[in-house]
Chains A and B, each alone.
Chain A
Amino acid sequence: MLRQIRISMLIFLLLLAACGGSDEDDGAANAEGAPFRVAIVMPSSTTDIAWSQSMYDSLTTVQSEMGGEDALKIAFSEGMFRVTDASAAIRDYAAEGYDLVIAHGAQYGNSVFEVASDFTETSFAWGTSSDTGADRGIENVFAYGAVANEGGYVNGVVAAMLSTNDVIGVIGPVAGDAKLYIDGFVRGVTDVKPDAQVNVSYTGSFSDTTLAAEAAHVHIQAGADVLTGSAQQVVGAIGVANENGVAWLGTQSDQISLGPNVVVTNQIYNWANVISDMIAKIETGELGGTAYKLTFENDGLRLEFNENIEIADEVKEAARAAIEDIKSGVVDPVLLEEDDE
């Protein structure tokens, strides 16, 4: 009897724990005339103010444009940092008949191709990548990525103009990852101020907000008066920048809510056009084969200034000029390849 009660207690705890998972869709089978159904599997949460949120926000934008939940249903699985968990979720969504399954992380590539081979009538998308599997005969996979060094470059130009100490701190997640953003950023700084010092540190994690916060403290103590960083870990660093009144330049999503007085610019990833295009293609029977890139040119990247704080006109002008230079090809911020998670 006692053993049964114990087991019941454990099941109760695990069930309650499962309350944290979220899923907007009831998983009902797709029927004729039913809304287009998209499922997304993401490494962090829809509120990470970074990589995952950028895609989720874009999905809800497309949903509004299409006419709400009656036209586009969104299901999502958050916190899928472990590839094995994500792989199971991708397969489940495919089995449930979703029209498009988005695997929002470069680490999910193998899982996507494996599942896509088994569900050839379902469309899949994954990023960051430019690999659609076409060379292996796979026809139902889209790939996407952001040319984040473009916004990195512009943020670098802004950082150089804002810094009076000529010391700027960068907080990266894992070395190699977010490399494009950081490379573009460093290039932007040094194009404006060749002698400025850009200190780059990595926390070794996408989600270690505590270490990112301490990294921000370290940069500030080392003289930095402008900070930037990427991945969901940056919430800790923005909190520290806010407390110390140090300028922060954001990337991936809008981060102003965290530092209304210190976040100067945000490079926003706008996936809406990519999603709309994929949906349009799927509805005409084209289930994959296209690799998308977000750039300033195609409105996939946007640089937004914080309207709540006063920013010198010359800074705004320099940023706009940098964007135009990138669009016209005058400036080529490092390699134009892929970035991030």
Chain B
Amino acid sequence: MFDELFTISTLVGILHSCVRLATPYLFASLGETFGQRSGVLNLGVDGIMLMGAFFAFYVVFEGHNLWVGLLAAIAVGILMGLLKAFVSVTMQSLQGISGIGLYLFGLGLSSLLFKTLIGSVEGVSGFRQLAIPFLSDIPGIGHILFNHNALVYLAYLMVPVSWFVINRTTLGLKIRAVGHNPEAADTLGVSVNGVRYTTMMIGGALAAVAGASLSIGLQNVFQENMTNGLGFIAVALVYFGSWRTVGVLGGSLLFSLVNALQLWVQALAIPVPSEIAVMMPYIMTIVVLAFTARQIQKPAALARSYERGE
């Protein structure tokens, strides 16, 4: 029975699933990385994802282009990010609680809009599988990496882009400075609030795209609370990845790999109890967190609001 798991076609299938499953986690956790590196914890990611998922779906459902749907999601994500920034940065509310408020707001409003504007669960034609010419023909690797929809490629493209912005640009330097020592950054003329507003907008946009990747990419439907807490896992993945883009990529892939593995183990009728199978991703997460905890370099000012002259 276990032999079937180690055939080339099954291993390629598992890795293909893993790459696809990691997409929403990558978008959402990269966005959260920007926020946390600037010192703002946003627990409202799941709510923003739901709003992004809804607006992308609704725009496409109304007959518009998929990219217009994606832009609508980004716009809503930026607005939600601004709301979070206003509450957490300007009003200096406790970041954890205001994040939960934002999550509930997104959950409730997306459900209300869905019931009002659509009313029943419907399907749309989302982003189709886009095989990259030549590269997708490479045996094994081609199918694993180059046979996905456009949003999957975009998610992986965001990893080096995010790394570059955070580590190699002036904005990135300001983000890191504000996250580690806002007082010092302020004395050097960096607008702490301005940087934090920017990261909240970036994070909001990416979280909304994560939601859109579900509603017009991976599933092509919208259902109330369809993220099912995925946004909270994305927040955990930022800790998991030690606030580094490569770490976030590793965490997303590892979590998705174990999820893909458990689905394949069950589908191939390999005799592992399904209860154990569905626990595997969480067990793996705990184990890896236990071993990586010492290497964590947390932004010193994370979840601390900043007020001049304090």
Contact = CB atoms under 8 A, between A and B. Distances in A.
Given A45-B224, A236-B221, A199 B267 contact: yes
Contacts of B122: 257-258
B119 A47 contact: yes
Interface string A221-242: 1100000000010011011101
B123 to A, nearest CB: 5
A217 interface: yes
Contacts of B228: 205, 207-210
B244 interface: no
B121 interface: yes
Contact of A201 (B20, B93, B266): B266
Given A21-B108, A79-B225, A6 B91 contact: yes
Given A14-B104, A205-B228, A257 B123 contact: yes
Contact of B274 (A48, A204, A236, A257): A204
Interface in A1-40: 2, 5-6, 9-10, 13-14, 16-22
B105 A79 contact: no
A202 interface: yes
A206 B128 CA distance: 27
A76 to B, nearest CB: 12
B102 to A, nearest CB: 7
A145 interface: no
Interface in B35-72: none
A210 B97 contact: no
Given A17-B104, A257-B122, A210 B230 contact: yes
A337 interface: no
Contact of A218 (B24, B119, B230, B263): B263
Given A175-B274, A214-B21, A18 B16 contact: no
B17 A218 contact: yes
Contacts of A208: 228
B245 interface: no
A23 B187 CA distance: 53
Interface in B255-283: 259-260, 263-264, 266-269, 273-275, 277-279
Interface in B83-98: 87, 91-93, 97-98
Contacts of B263: 201, 211, 214-215, 218
B298 to A, nearest CB: 25
Nearest to A219: B267
A205 B24 CA distance: 18
A49 interface: yes
A121 B138 CA distance: 71
B219 interface: yes
Per DSSP, chain A at the interface is helix
A118 to B, nearest CB: 30
Nearest to B220: A239
B101 A13 contact: yes
B219 A240 contact: yes
Contact of A175 (B87, B102, B221, B275): B275
Contact of B120 (A47, A169, A205, A219): A47
B219 A210 contact: yes
A199 B93 contact: no
Nearest to B263: A218
- B106, B225, B227, B267: which has the most chain A beta carbons within 10 Å? B267
A188 interface: no
Given A13-B104, A235-B223, A47 B121 contact: yes
Contacts of A45: 111, 223-225
Contacts of B110: 20
A2 B123 contact: no
B41 to A, nearest CB: 16
A232 B123 CA distance: 14
A222 B225 contact: no
Interface centre among A205, A210, A221 (most CB of B within 10 A): A210
Given A169-B267, A238-B123, A239-B123, A19 B219 contact: no
Nearest to B13: A221
Contact of B91 (A2, A17, A21, A221): A2
B102 A13 contact: yes
B121 A202 contact: no
Contacts of B115: 22, 47
B112 interface: yes
Contacts of B259: 211, 214
B109 interface: yes
Contact of A243 (B16, B20, B220): B220
A252 interface: no
A132 interface: no
A226 B224 CA distance: 26
B212 interface: no
Given A214-B20, A218-B17, 12 more contacts: A47-B115, A49-B120, A78-B224, A169-B267, A201-B274, A209-B219, A210-B24, A210-B227, A214-B260, A219-B267, A221-B13, A239-B126
11 contacts: A9-B87, A17-B106, A20-B111, A47-B120, A199-B269, A204-B275, A205-B228, A209-B221, A209-B223, A214-B17, A215-B266
Instruction: State the 5 A-B residue pairs at the shortest beta-carbon distance, nearest first.
Output: A204-B278, A20-B108, A17-B104, A201-B266, A17-B108
